[in-house]
Amino acid sequence: MSVFIDRSDRVLVQGITGGEGTFWTKHMRDLGTDVVAGVTPGKEGQSVEGVPVYHTVRRAVAEHPADAAMLFVPPRFTKDAVLEALDAGIRKVVTIADGIPLHEALEIRAAARSCGARVVGGNTSGVISPGRAMMGMFPYWIERVYRPGRIGVMTRSGSLTNEVTAMIVRAGFGVSSLLGVGGDSVPGTRFAEFLPDFQADSGTDAVVVIGELGGTMEEEVAEAIESGVFCKPLVAFLGGRNAPAGKRMGHAGAIVTGGKGTVEGKAAALKRAGAAVADRPRAVGDLLREILGDPAHS
């Protein structure tokens, strides 16, 4: 079992003939993903890495039923591409686009919610269930860092996730599924919305949340724990503890405004709910060992 994607998912790649689309399609296939078709308007009849290309998503899924769409589409065309995937009946979408206009991000999330779909991203490396499947931009070597295992990971960051996951692996654990919800202020799917999946996933023993200042996603995780939606152990690491108010720390979503969205408040909420909060990357591994025991002995 895994969360969001698995080997059994049939994945469509929108924007497959572009440089990124072609490059990462190969990686996705090599990491086990079943890429069934690609879409680039005007390029029907071509093929990329052996994957047939169609003009539109509707034409592609008519020939190759698909569950999930991976978008390598520029930010300003992302809304259209997401709506096209949803209109064709696809209910899982990942978009790596960095720079989706804010109002369009709202429309993307609203459209997904209204039809019960999930859009992951933008501004993310994507999702990976190591050893099974990947949608996004995780290169081959990443499997050495994201070793297959039983820890679920959710994150707003890219490089920081490598940093933290390396600590999880150093502590002797591995990753079941990693979901990058992305660094934007309006991600398509929010941390708390994946918690029921991790709760149901028999392959996940605990979840690590890599959050940061800004927004309310970490507080929602605390609420989900308190409401009993999620009962497995949860360890959070939160970036931006010392960030000055009013300065946007790189990610569009990483800003404290008017006293809202501080790491202090988030950490307090999570601790109140019973989650463990790591004060530095290395502590994530330490806390997991405290909670789950030494994985070498289990």
Scan residues 152-171 and list those touching another protein (CB under 8 A): 155-163, 166
Residue from 5, 142, 208, 288 touching another protein (CB under 8 A): that is 142
Catalytic residue status for 64 = no
Scan residues 90-119 and list those touching another protein (CB under 8 A): 98-103, 106-107, 109-111, 113
Rounded to a whole number of angstroms, the minimum distance from the CB of residue 194 to another protein is: 14
Scan residues 49-68 and list those touching another protein (CB under 8 A): 55-59
In terms of residues, how long is the chain? Answer: 298
* Other beta carbons within 10 Å of 184: 24
Q: Does 30 bind another protein (CB under 8 A)?
A: no
Q: Does 141 bind another protein (CB under 8 A)?
A: yes
Q: Does 148 bind another protein (CB under 8 A)?
A: no
Selection from 211, 143, 127 nearest residue 177 by Cα: 127
Scan residues 179-198 and list those touching another protein (CB under 8 A): 183, 185-187, 190
Residues sharing a CB contact under 8 Å with residue 182, sequence separation 6 or more, in sequence order: 120, 121, 122, 123, 124, 156, 188
**Ramachandran region, residue 45 (left: φ > 0; alpha: ψ -120 to 50; beta: rest):** left
Query: What CA–CA distance (Å, rounded) separates 75 from 81?
Result: 10
Rounded to a whole number of angstroms, the minimum distance from the CB of residue 122 to another protein is: 9
Residues sharing a CB contact under 8 Å with residue 24, sequence separation 6 or more, in sequence order: 70, 72, 136, 137
Give the nearer residue to another protein in terms of CB position, either 3 or 81: 81
Catalytic residue annotation: 251
